[in-house]
């Protein structure tokens, strides 16, 4: 290695050291449909902390949750009003191979586009190939605040 190659390697190494922290920081932020933060009070009546999500169901982004069959997607969780004042909060990660599932309000079921697994709104498997239920999170409604415990 000559002097020129040594200087180039030192400069390249320094550039990598400067870039790595900013890349890692961007990877730790939880995707959010409302705001680019994983804590605090994003717009739309949603408060997200490390152990819970509070949704004010009277505010604009959450009003779908006021009706049976209505749903909302927040922080990789599908929140569904299952009727009778009850809610379901489920991971949107399919237990078969990790694809993103979605709530089909027409059928009232959660479906995986990858290999056809179908789940109930409580997360149970209706149709495979998935064999395990979707991860479920406890929900409580106090006043207008629906809390999802993570
Ligand atoms: S990843 Fe969902 S059915 Fe295969």
Q: Which of 130, 131, 133 to mutate to test the pocket of ligand 1 (most atoms within 8 A of CB)?
A: 130
So what's the pLDDT on residue 104? 93
**Nearest CA residue ID for atom 1, ligand 1:** 97
Q: Which residues line ligand 1 (CB under 6 A)?
A: 94, 96-99, 112, 114-117, 129-130
CA of 22 to the centre of ligand 1 (A): 33
Residues 67 and 109: beta-carbon distance below 8 Å: no
pTM (two decimals): 0.69
Q: What is the DSSP string of 47-112?
A: EE-SSEEEEETTSGGGGGGGSTT-EEEETTEEEEEEETTEEEEEESB-TTT-PBPEEETTTTEEE-
pLDDT tens series, the chain, 150 aa? 665 665 556 544 444 444 444 433 333 333 333 333 334 445 467 788 889 988 888 888 888 898 899 998 988 999 999 999 899 999 999 999 999 999 998 999 999 999 999 999 999 999 999 999 999 999 999 998 999 999
Q: Which of 101, 127, 129 to mutate to test the pocket of ligand 1 (most atoms within 8 A of CB)?
A: 129
CA geometry: angle at 50 spanning 87 and 88, to 5°?
10
Q: Which atom of ligand 1 is nearest to the CA of 101?
A: 2
Q: Which string of b and e fits 66-103 if b means at least 16 CB within 10 Å? A: eeeebbbebbebbbbbbeeeebbbbbbbbbbeebebeb
So what's the pLDDT on residue 21? 40
């Amino acid at each position: 290695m000559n002097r020129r190659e040594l200087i180039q390697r030192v400069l390249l190494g320094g550039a990598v050291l400067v870039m790595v922290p900013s890349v890692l920081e961007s990877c730790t932020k939880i995707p959010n449909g409302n705001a680019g933060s994983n804590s605090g009070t994003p717009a739309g009546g949603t408060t997200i902390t490390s152990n819970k999500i509070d949704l004010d169901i009277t505010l604009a982004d959450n009003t779908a949750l006021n009706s049976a069959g209505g749903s909302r997607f927040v922080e990789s969780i599908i929140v569904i009003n299952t009727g009778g004042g009850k809610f379901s909060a489920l991971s949107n990660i399919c237990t078969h191979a990790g694809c993103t599932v979605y709530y089909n309000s027409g059928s009232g079921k959660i479906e995986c586009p990858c290999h056809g697994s179908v789940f109930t709104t409580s997360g149970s498997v209706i149709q495979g190939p998935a064999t395990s239920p979707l991860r479920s999170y406890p929900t409580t409604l106090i006043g207008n605040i629906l809390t999802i415990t993570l």
